[in-house]
Amino acid sequence: MILVTGGAGFIGANFVLDWLAQSDEPVLNLDKLTYAGNLENLAALQGDPRHLFVQGDIGDAALLAQLLAQHQPRAVLNFAAESHVDRSIHAPEDFIQTNVVGTLRLLQSVRAYWQGLEAPARAAFRFLHVSTDEVYGSLAPTEAAFSETHRVEPNSPYSASKAASDHLVRAWHHTYGLPVLTTNCSNNYGPLHFPEKLIPLLIVNALAGKPLPVYGDGLQVRDWLYVKDHCSAIRRVLAAGRVGEIYNVGGWNEKPNIEIVHTVCALLDELRPKRDGSRYQSQISHVQDRPGHDRRYAIDARKIERELGWKPAETFESGIRKTVQWYLANPDWVAHVQSGAYRDWVQTQYASSHALICNDAP
């Protein structure tokens, strides 16, 4: 059995679904079910004896000790995190509590469990920590992409909290010998993405006839990674990664945000054209840039390809089409996640920019 934390969120749920589609090894899934944790993401596993869900906090040491002792996982994969930069600007303490304090308590619990294992199980055990390229800071337009040895220079409360958690994981390996692995990924997109992030927000707003908010000039560059490619990379790192190492996981798809917006609009024009014949592009609305907005991220994913033979299967063109098609095919999921909590957050974030993206959908 493996223990997955944060397995009802976007990346965690995709990982659990993909894992059980390819393996009969059971998953113990621990998730606090905050606003972005959604059991509907795991609906396909209802009644599946290979999936055991527990609602709980990675900061709950007593619960962790109980679960670890009872289920004896061979690995712990930590997806649990507060992960939205804009939210971290408004409420940084939540990010410190989950990403720093929560990771600390998880590491303490896992270390105690690992030290009590018999020698063969102890040698085979792994703790895999899922992190982000944002810990590296921002790149100039012509700078080389982030490698695993790039200096850590986080610029937002979110990325600072993730950098702190990465350092804790490293320290628990070097000080206590805990067999850890860390992955730093680029921007994920795909099915089950909570609609506060760029791509699902664009799709949801476009279909609802609302403005499509673009920060500043829209020329911020990101590397885009289809979530199922990310899941395959994590499986590969867990299976064969060198203990104590960091592996950067990217999609080799550097694109400015405004290009993403236009691509989504064009796909919607094709797949769900408006009745009046107008283009979704007409809904684009440039809003005030967020404080400290990093201009460019880019991942150098050569290490994971060289050492572990992994590279993404999807191009951006194939992945974004699959993503738009998924949202069009799952309107009930979209409607359910647009709860009061989601609308309250969007109102807080964008009201001052007059983006008007919180009106009730028709």
How many whole angstroms separate alpha carbon 268 and alpha carbon 275? Answer: 12
Looking at residue 168, its amino acid is: L
How many whole angstroms separate alpha carbon 353 and alpha carbon 287? Answer: 6
Catalytic residue among 136, 158, 247, 342: 158
Other C-beta atoms closer than 10 Å to the C-beta of 188 total 23
342 is catalytic: no
How many whole angstroms separate alpha carbon 159 and alpha carbon 133? Answer: 9
Catalytic residue among 31, 57, 86, 134: 134
How many whole angstroms separate alpha carbon 132 and alpha carbon 162? Answer: 7
Cα 63 to chain centroid distance, Å, stands at: 24
270 is catalytic: no
Catalytic residue among 57, 86, 133, 314: 133
35 is catalytic: no
Q: What are phi and psi of 73, to 5 degrees?
A: -65, 150
Burial class (CB in 10 A: 0-12, 13-18, 19+), 65: middle
**Alpha helix locations (H) across the chain?**
10-22, 61-71, 85-90, 92-95, 103-115, 119-124, 157-176, 198-207, 227-240, 257-271, 302-308, 316-329, 331-337, 340-350
How many whole angstroms separate alpha carbon 177 and alpha carbon 169? Answer: 11
Q: Which residues pair with 285 in a beta bridge?
A: 213
How many whole angstroms separate alpha carbon 93 and alpha carbon 216? Answer: 26
- Token pair for 127: 């703790």
Q: Which residues contact 91 (CB under 8 A, 6 or more apart)?
A: none
Looking at residue 20, its amino acid is: L
Positions marked active-site = 133-134, 158
